[in-house]
Structure 1
């Protein structure tokens, strides 16, 4: 964490070091990109300005008096066509420059990575390097462009220049004061993001335009042409300054990856994702006692006088939890489980909260969720479990199978089915033509060719059969740390971040499944009315197709092909039964 803080504290020095490194390794390429970037920006400015002059010209009976003298030698129509064609040429120059910048940026980032002489550090590192190099060169070009544009604006319209520069100085001072206030108040606010920066340019342009409007209504208004050029230059200054700030913020956010990519002596720390320093700070003994007490009091309203806090292993990376035993002044003790999700686990937190806050859902083996809230920007779930005792590791497989069978007893609410089916593919959707085509292509001509052809002929029947099987809430990706067991043997699952809806029978272990299907089906028929017409064949087909989907998703095509004969035989049996019913 000290490394991260020091890099953040010396962000200006770090950016200077990277810029110096880039210009030293590939000076010619970097200079070319900067020149092309300036050419693109100036071309775009000209391509925006000239059409406006052309419209003013065509709307006037004569060439306006404020047009330069050398333009007044042209005929009005010829001058209009000249302005239009020049604007088109500048736009072509802008597009050409952007295309060259894209190619040279890719080349430059590849050279930088090769110069560092490192192994591949992370997925997508070439894209990260390319974007970082583009942002650095674009930032350098933006600084030059802003300097030239402000100088030009100062020459044309000094008062508007002062107003524009004053706006950015005020914004910088306000930003510094806000950071200092947050630091002094120990407030951990959200980091600067692009959404908070985006409106700055528009606000600045509106402020500059307001000043221009005031000046035009004054006793000594500026001339029309300088006012028009001034407002166009101001627009460019606001846009480029905003983009420059965004690029610098993006570079600062990725400083760990960029340093590891471009500097030989820098290594990528394992905590390069999420917000590790802020996340870990929540779980220091002093901080945990404070926020745990506040959360529990807010949720329960009980006057607890003591909280004993212990670490709880969740078994999920970047999902931390604590066990809290709270005691009132009368000696009453209650147990709570509080889970906090890091920012890169937000999806898991939302998935879990969506399921456990469903109003029409009851009796599933879940630790009761009291409240889902935010803790300093992190998703936080507060549970009141019957027990915090975990199962022995050796019994994990047994309890996983038991929890799956228990979940199959409960019918998901229709509202939950609608939400899920609109958001995620169900089993029959996942066995799509594209997936099966890739499956067939991978195996080609071998001993499984006949099995694949037969299965492909029955694929629609398989999908229709899966659609006819009622759904249940599956939570198959659970381990020993997420299964809690009470003294009387009641199971409670404490993690639901990866739940899904599957046809009954899916997620069952297919080994020796046939022998246990009769008792399982009898048990389910006692608990669910919608399973009365389902037989053992369909449950077996569901289990096999789920296994097939899992193997295909991992591209274990040979193992998947071994399931095809049994799936095809079950599908053919179901087809024959359907024909017999029709007759």
Structure 2
């Protein structure tokens, strides 16, 4: 990124927008800029005058830097005057800020009417008001900074020449490192500026202030004729200039990022076209065909010998924030072909991979029919995980029914270890805790008939019994992604469950597919009893269906499908009768 080019482009666009504002509401826009500028000046005076009061009141006579306009007889009157002036300046600051907000609302409304824009954004009027206020605020801050520098040059020329110089230096310094910014592999400082802009600006403002303070302090230490009042005023101006400059940069970055929306809201001949998220731009570049093949070859080559270059192909994703790629490595013979799958987790969804890793820190991958992990690595800010994918074949529709029953039986037969249960329960509620009175009562809004009111009342009455019954059911490791598209077949036909990033602990029966019948459940339970001591002979298919119905009830309520949830509640209550 070339900061000089970006700066020139922004200020050119900024001027175009401001001219449009001045054309639509000239007096309102000018009034906002002037009042906002005056507010900043009064704010400086509100803090400067109390210091004058302290200097006057704390001196036995009149300090020499006040003697040209204050006599000893007038000292008390001036102390009172400065005190009242400080209070008045602070009050004026608050009044002007309130007027600026009201005028910004009126001005932004006229801008929208002039542009004849249909509703494009949520709370559009407030959004436009915010943009309008930021444009006027930048003008006011720029005016204040210019005036502050001019006043500073008059009262302390050397100091403020130094201030201008160090600000130019920091701008060039930032431009130098920003030019090396690569979205795919950003250097540390460039990435820090991108991700922590406000902190970076505060650091620069502090450095400007502290270095200027040292420059200001030197004459005071070396000369007895230094003007203390001018030094104090210089410090106050410096502090306010630093704050205004930080506000200017922060607001310019915000406006530049929203430029496509602002143009559509301000100019009637420009349509709104949402920009592609920066994360998506980086993803497309990182994982285009050439780059993903090269990266896969490099990462796999670090952990194994490759007989041929891997071919990485796109797979349509099914889990938000996770992208899939199939990796094929050809062998000398067709039977020697290797298959892998690469799961790519976006920066905002890395928790899913951590969630899976936590599971496998307590349970072996083979115990859950998870594929062997080959390697993990970062590509930019995306984390990639490559696992074996068996033969590269998925189960067919004809085979899925029987395989599904087998997988459910194996999942139920694998008792979660006590350490995993304790860790999970310490941070996440189980179904009996989630299905509480607050959740169930949220259906009240959908009650329209006496029958529905009766269902809800009986459900609330029976809720303690329902929760107690759920608590007695054994737990198992539930995987909502136990679907054909997440199953690969190993060379021996054994299934590999490719992802566990959304696992949870649920009572037996929760999440079962609707096509399973009671006879199928009875067969599965017979198999499970052979491997789990906590599955008693009294546990019947009806108990399994009860847990499944309760989880479905929760899912309906959380999805705001209250009518369906009331019907589901009636089924649960009928089954308990």
- The reply on whether 1:558 has 2:559 as its aligned counterpart is no
Cα distance change of structure 1 residues 114 and 531 upon mapping to structure 2, 3 Å threshold = farther
- Name whichever of 160-169 and 431-440 sits farther off: 431-440
Deviation string, structure 1 residues 200-244 (Cα, Å, up to 9, x no partner): 212222222222233433458742111111111111111111121
TM-score of the superposition, structure 1-length normalised?
Answer: 0.82
Q: Tell me how far apart the structure 2 counterparts of residues 460 and 89 of structure 1 sit (CA, whole Å).
A: 64
Matches within 5 A, 1:9-158: 10-67=9-66, 82-121=81-120, 128-158=127-157
Relative to structure 1, is the Cα distance of residues 221 and 255 closer, same or farther in structure 2, using a 3 angstrom cutoff?
farther
CA distance in structure 2 between the aligned counterparts of 1:396 and 1:126, rounded to whole angstroms: 54
* 1:213 match: 217
Cα offsets for 1:151-202 (capped at 9, x unmatched): 1211121122112111211111112222334479986764724243332212
Partner in structure 2 of residue 439 of structure 1: 443
Q: 2:362 aligns with which of 341, 360, 363?
A: 360
The match for 2:387 among 365, 368, 383 is 383
Decide which of 516, 519, 523 is 1:519's aligned counterpart: 523
SS at match of 1:367: coil
1:505 to 504, 509, 517: 509
Q: Distance in 2 between matches of 1:497 and 1:107?
A: 50
C-alpha contact (below 8 Å) 1:353/1:372 kept by paired residues: no
Deviates more, 1:227-236 or 1:436-445: 436-445
Match of 1:250 in 2: 254
**Number of corresponding residues:** 563
Pick closer, same or farther for the CA change 1:261–1:208 going to 2, 3 Å. Answer: same
Q: 1:308 aligns with which of 293, 306, 311?
A: 311
Q: Which residue of 2 aligns with 1:542?
A: 547
Structure 1 SS opposite 2:341: strand
Q: Which residue does the alignment assign to 1:164?
A: 163
Give the secondary structure class of the aligned counterpart of 1:321: strand
1:228 equivalent to 2:229? Answer: no
8 Å CA contact 1:8–1:252 kept in 2: the answer is no
Tell me the SS of whatever aligns to 1:336: strand
Q: 2-side partners of 1:277 and 1:180: how far apart?
A: 18
SS at match of 1:386: coil
Q: Which residue of 1 aligns with 2:461?
A: 457
Q: Measure, in 2, the Cα distance between the counterparts of 1:517 and 1:529.
A: 18
Match of 1:486 among 480, 484, 490: 490
Q: Is the 8 A contact 2:307 2:330 kept in 1?
A: yes
Q: Secondary structure at the residue paired with 2:309? A: strand
CA RMSD of aligned residues (A): 3.9
Give yes or no for contact 1:323–1:335 (8 Å, CA) kept in 2.
Answer: yes
Match of 2:325 among 322, 326, 334: 322
Residues in 2 aligned to 1:511 and 1:288: alpha-carbon distance in whole angstroms: 40
Cα displacement string for residues 401-455 of structure 1 (whole angstroms, at most 9, x for unaligned residues): 7656644443445555566555555434544444333311331554211111111
Alignment CA distance shift 1:403-1:76 (3 Å): farther
Compute the displacement of 1:381 (Å): 2.3
For the structure 1 residues 510 and 339, does the alpha-carbon distance in structure 2 shift closer, same or farther, using more than 3 Å as the test?
closer
SS class of match (2:310): strand
What secondary structure sits across from 1:306 in the alignment? Answer: coil
- Bigger Rg, structure 1 or 2: 2
| Equivalent pair of 1:365/1:407 in contact (CA under 8 Å) | no
Counterpart of 1:202 (choices 190, 199, 206) is: 206
For 1:404 and 1:114, the matched residues in 2 are separated by 61
Q: Is the 8 A contact 1:404 1:474 kept in 2?
A: no
1:124 Cα deviation from its structure 2 partner: 6.1
CA distance in 2: counterparts of 1:58 and 1:403, whole angstroms: 86
For 1:554 and 1:442, locate their aligned partners in 2 and report how far apart those are by CA, in whole Å: 13
CA distance in 2, matches of 1:100, 1:399: 70
Report what 1:3 is aligned to: none
Query: Aligned with 1:379: secondary structure?
Result: strand
Distance 1:371 1:411 in 2: 28
Question: Quick check: 63-72 or 205-214, which moved more?
Answer: 63-72
Q: Which residue is equivalent to 2:351?
A: 350
Further displaced range: 514-523 or 68-77: 68-77
Q: For 1:279 and 1:69, locate their aligned partners in 2 and report how far apart those are by CA, in whole Å.
A: 68
CA distance in 1, matches of 2:140, 2:415: 61
Q: State the match for 1:581 in structure 2.
A: none
Counterpart CA distance in 2 for 1:140 and 1:482 is: 56
Indicate the larger mover: 120-129 or 271-280.
120-129
Map of 1:326-341 to 2, 5 A cutoff?
326=329, 334-341=338-345
Which segments of 5 or more consecutive residues in structure 2 lack a partner in the other structure? none
1:86-142: CA deviation from partner (whole Å, max 9, x where unpaired): 434433333344444445445544554454445544556556544433332222221
TM value normalised by structure 2: 0.83
The alpha carbon displacement at 1:457 in A equals 1.9
| Maintained 8 Å contact 1:371/1:381 | yes
Spell out, residue by residue over 1:263-320, the C-alpha distance to the aligned partner (whole angstroms, 9 max, x if none): 444444465334332221113333223322332234x154665222322332346643
1:471-507 CA-to-partner distances (Å, cap 9, x unmatched) read 4433325665433333544333334454444333222
